[in-house]
Chain A
Amino acid sequence: MFYIHCPYCQEHREEEEFHPRGEAHLMRPTDPDNATDEEWGDYLFFRQNPRGIHHELWVHSVGCRKFFNITRNTVTYEILETYRMGEQPSITAETEKLRKEQGVQTADGGWQTIGAQPDSRALNEETSS
């Protein structure tokens, strides 16, 4: 179960009160009349499904009934931040990568858990083709 901080109610609530609504920050084609089929297809159907940091749209359906965004790690399920509609995330895949390069241990991307044993490294390593 998640314990989610609603940015509008300004407190943590049970996951039971919320509903996930898919990927956040989807932009409708700015000129719908002249958008190509590919642009429409991308907007309507194609989603990122990343391994690691993901920005999601959630709604506090039993509560204030407001939509807001969550930055979540799809590997560890850790919720890194929640922020209101119209705001930009302060944690993105890029900032997390930077933290890793600077030697901060975070559980994202290739690692199943923090402190995984070296012999399981091969299992955890992403296959680079």
Chain B
Amino acid sequence: MSNVSAKQFNTVPAGNPAVESPLHWSYQQQKSTPSANAGVVLREKALLGHVVLRGGAIVMDEAVRQVLGMSLPAKPNTVTRDEAGERSIQWISPDEWLVIVPGGEECDLERRLREALGDAHVSIVNVSGGQTVLTLAGENAREVLMKTVAFDVHPQAFPVGKGVTTVFAKATVVLRRASETEWELVVRRSFADYCYRWLLDASKEYGIDTQ
């Protein structure tokens, strides 16, 4: 069976209907007053395109270079980004990568990857509806992470460009360091409200600025 013939479900239907991020309900419930000197700045990068790629690294690398113009991360637990920082590919396991692109690009990306991969034994899954990206910045962002994740977030152990899947307050999260000051958390839709409220609570002592 060829990959090209695989049925694709477009998660962005025509007519531009209203869409809500997984945290829509949480924003309604948790009205927070922004503090003046917030030590933590929490934002959501809502409605991005998330695609999970699985398959052999060599075949996949070739297709991804062709379609996205980026190579797969060569080392475990790393993230590669394009110049604008809008598109990223993260190493999840030896045969699994998470691609995050601006919202609306994911279906086209999936189609082009399937064309480039032809009959190769791979799996491409659009998981855009299943997860969302939170960003954590501010001078106390690391302190909040230190009491939340088991992984060592010291700059020596967690340089910019690293990304790991780890335990986040008993849930799981994909944690990435986007820049010196900013952390990205890829959380599951079903855990989004829990993680959001956890972060609000954990950041209370430093003061938090949400959107």
Contacts and interface: CB of A to CB of B under 8 A. Distances in A.
Interface residues of A, number: 13
B47 to A, nearest CB: 26
B185 interface: no
Given A14-B150, A14-B151, A8 B93 contact: yes
Interface string A1-28: 0000000111101101100000000000
Contacts of A62: 165-167, 172
Contact of A64 (B92, B150, B151): B92
A14 B167 CA distance: 9
B129 interface: no
A16 B150 contact: yes
Contacts of A121: none
B150 A63 contact: no
B164 interface: yes
A65 B54 CA distance: 13
B77 A11 contact: yes
Contacts of A13: 150-151, 166
Contacts of A65: 93
B165 A63 contact: yes
Interface of B: 76-77, 92-94, 96, 150-151, 164-167, 172
Q: 5 closest pairs, A vs B, by CB?
A: A64-B93, A14-B150, A62-B172, A63-B165, A16-B167
